[in-house]
Amino acid sequence: MHRNVRYNCRVIFLNRWVTAGSSTTPFSPRLGAWSPGAVASSGTTFMAVGYQEGRCLGWPCFSWALSPLTPSDIRYRDDGWSLGTHSSVVRRSVLGGRPCNKVCLADPGHQLLASAHPPGLSCSVPIDGQGGRAGGCSMSRGACSSQERPCSPVCRKILLIRPKMALANEGNYRELRWFTPWSRSRQTEEYFLPRMLQDLTKQETVPFGDAVLSTWDTCIGSEVCEELWTPHSPHVDMGLDGVEIFTNASGSHHVLRKAHARVDLVTMATTKNGGIYLLANQKGCDGDRLYYDGCALIAMNGSIFAQGSQFSLDDVEVLTATLDLEDIRSYRAEISSRNLAASRVSPYPRVKVDFALSCHEDLLEPVSEPIEWKYHSPAEEISLGPACWLWDFLRRSRQAGFFLPLSGGVDSAATACLVYSMCHQVCEAVKRGNLEVLADVRTIVNQLSYTPQDPRELCGRVLTTCYMASENSSQETCDRARELAQQIGSHHIGLHIDPVVKALVGLFSLVTGASPRFAVHGGSDRENLALQNVQARVRMVIAYLFAQLSLWSRGAPGGLLVLGSANVDESLLGYLTKYDCSSADINPIGGISKTDLRAFVQLCVERFQLPALQSILAAPATAELEPLAHGRVSQTDEEDMGMTYAELSVYGRLRKVAKTGPYSMFCKLLDMWRDTCSPRQVADKVKCFFSKYSMNRHKMTTLTPAYHAESYSPDDNRFDLRPFLYNTRWPWQFRCIENQVLQLEGRQRQELDGVD
């Protein structure tokens, strides 16, 4: 047993939940998924459960209950469970079996078993085999383990420790850095519990490994997050071996349009093999760049029977459905290919559980009807996900609000709209009776009797916007910024940065004796770029100064979080000044494309009644860092970049998602753009992109932490790990492109000569 291997596990335990005077006679089954939200139904319940990370420890879990549930039964108190209060848990703990970078120092598994609150839960618990520190939901085999495997506890008796068999090790996840997957399929061994757990459960050993639970009337199997996404998921063989109910405690983060894939995986799993699938996904900010987006669901035989919210400020959400287990057996009996495969499958070890989920007495109990899944549009996802992420950052940082440089362009307007959307969600949550949100907002505004009712009024308390004009700014952008600030209710400031810029340029001239000029005044490209950058960097310094002192100047306590507004396309190309206003505390739009941002802003025009956004959408995108031409904008972003935002999105997806370099991208774009661009034009565009991308990649090393929303994000913190020192000439790749262009042009000339 001293193998020194660390696993990421789900510890499965049983608690019979019987209220005083109630009968232990089984009720009819209710199957459900529980993730952040707050309603419960009476009766015996089988639920998938997830808690908002930051209040509780944040593991999705499942429950059986033998008595009526009430909201007080499912709302945990903060004693020892809340991050930043009594438990010493680092923000990036494991969520649903997803370890990130830090070590979890609390022992919530011991607390959960010892607590009087959670009877009836089968949870994913961060528990260490030594009873000491835990790397999230982990279990160590051996007394002196130095490695772990990612693991899940049913009447204060641990029935099974189920180690994770497939680890996420791509994109934002590095589970193999911390854990080892359990590779012994359908095998278990005895695990000796730590003494503090032995005192609670009165057990010395429990099964550890790949097994399923067998009740009087059905069989229950467990998958852990990533296992659903693998080519050969455990539910396939479990279903062939007779498992009828599959549970999945997941930690799947939000990406635009990803919900379709998640729902399709579950429905397809139950379409091919039959069965009931309960998915409970984490909801809330992970303390970093990710937002876990819920979507708890209950599916059976390819149909959805219950859908949870994707975005919410509520801590707990309960889904229930009443389903007939006989429907699974009838469905499977009709699939001959499935039955032939089942006859050859190896059996799973079974852990017997002495209770039933079903009842033959209540024949009038209505069963749930299938529903159609309702998806958010990408614009709706943007309006909700980043807004919830902002709320989590604001309440957990204990700052008094946000400071946003508002330029009058689409990007900063979108960021302002996200804060306004956050205020809408806060007011709606308070109206629904969410006392936790009410307590948080009172702490933020430093007023214990305050109750938010109007989003615009709340926005005026938590958002300060600032238009930082220069001699190169137009009156149009100033007016647009002011009108938007008035409509959302933010505290708006207008100021001029010219005195500071002139002082800095004057200092340079005083020291060197040289006076740089803009290009329109006869200056070189180097002079022109330096004069633009000094304006941008001054704005960053001013933003932080006002974020620290603007509330002080108004006689209010606290400071403000500075918001950045660089979109994912500009970050990809490096079309930003290092340490300008893109440098901030957090950036809610940094993982979103310009195209999607424009769609989101258009949605805000209609949903929030903000007509000022119409003129912002109609205006050309401009940095306004060069002198105006007759008082009007002479510089546009797409002209500066040498490409359109639509083209940038294509480059980004091909580079990251399709894994193409310059030559491979050129080959793909020849076909994609064959009706609009010649081979020479495609080659020039690809060369332009990769030259600028490689030249500016160093800017990603200091990029402001941004909400992760796109699969082609260039964030090199943990998602897009690339060098930042490239040969910007790309000699071999560009030479291959040039040779191919010459061949294609020669072939075209031959074809034309043949026609003549």
Tell me: the pLDDT tens digits for 464-473?
999 999 999 9
Is there a single domain that holds both residue 326 and residue 257?
yes
pLDDT of residue 629: 64
Query: Is 385 inside a domain boundary?
Result: yes
Considering only CA atoms, which of 368, 589, 400 is closest in space to residue 491? 400
Q: Are residues 450 and 304 in the same domain?
A: no
Are both 399 and 474 inside the same structural domain?
Answer: yes
Q: Is residue 502 part of a domain?
A: no
Asked if residue 257 belongs to a domain, the reply is: yes
Contact 53, 95 (CB under 8 A): yes
Closest by CA position to 220, among listed 241, 240, 247: 247
Q: Is 14 in the same domain as 105? A: yes
* pLDDT number for residue 83: 22
Residues 662 and 565 in one domain: no
Residue 6: pLDDT band with limits 50, 70, 90:
confident
| Per-residue confidence (pLDDT) for residue 637, from 0 to 100 | 86
pLDDT surpassing 60 at residue 138:
no
For residues 287 and 410, state if they share a domain: no
- Can you tell me the distance from the alpha carbon of 316 to that of 320, in angstroms, rounded to the nearest whole number? 13
Is residue 672 assigned to a domain? yes
Answer whether residue 369 is part of any domain. no
Residues 139 and 226 in one domain: yes
Which residues, 6 or more positions from 531, have their beta carbon under 8 angstroms from its beta carbon? 505, 516, 517, 518, 523, 625
Determine the pLDDT at residue 112. 55
pLDDT bucket at 95, cuts 50 / 70 / 90: very low
Q: How many residues does the chain have?
A: 756
Q: Which residues form the domain of 579?
A: 379-495+543-602
Instruction: Give residue 211's Cα distance to chain centre.
Output: 31
The full 3-state SS of 624-676, as one line of letters, equals CCCCCECCECCCCHHHHHCCCHHHHHHHHHHHHCCCCCHHHHHHHHHHHCCCC
DSSP 3-state of 748: helix
Q: Minimum mean pLDDT among 34-43, 139-148, 384-393, 614-623: which range?
A: 34-43
> Are residues 343 and 453 located together in one domain of the fold?
no
Please indicate, yes or no, if residue 516 is contained in any of the structural domains.
no
**Residue 118: is its pLDDT beyond 70?**
no
- Tell me the per-residue pLDDT of 484-542, one tens digit each, with 9 for 90 and over: 999 999 999 999 999 999 999 999 999 999 999 999 899 999 999 999 999 999 999 99
User: Which pair of structure tokens corresponds to residue 404?
Assistant: 């946003």
Least-confidence region, from 8-22, 620-634, 657-671: 8-22
Looking at the structure of the chain, the number of domains it has is: 3
pLDDT score, position 716: 87
Provide φ and ψ at 692, rounded to 5°: -70, -40
| CATH code at position 439 | 3.40.50.620
pTM of the model: 0.84
One domain, residues 597 and 666: no
> What proportion of the chain, given as a percentage, has pLDDT over 90?
67
Shared-domain flag, residues 687 and 741: yes
CATH code assigned at 208: 3.60.110
| Residues 70 and 168 occupy one common structural domain | yes
Mind listing the pLDDT tens digit for each residue in 202-250?
Answer: 899 999 999 999 999 999 999 999 999 999 999 999 999 999 999 998 9
617 assigned to some structural domain: no
Q: Give residue 717's pLDDT.
A: 86
> pLDDT (tens digit, 9 = 90+) per residue, 389-448?
999 999 999 999 999 999 999 999 999 999 999 999 999 999 999 999 999 999 999 999
Domain boundary among 555, 584, 602: 602
619 lies in a domain? no
In which band, very low, low, confident or very high, does the pLDDT at 142 lie, cut at 50, 70 and 90? very low
Residue that finishes a domain, picked among 337, 352, 367 = 352
What does the pLDDT average to over 68-77?
Answer: 32
Structure confidence at residue 68 as a pLDDT band (50, 70, 90)? very low
> Looking at the structure, do residues 17 and 142 belong to the same domain, yes or no?
yes
Residue 4 has pLDDT above 70, yes or no: no
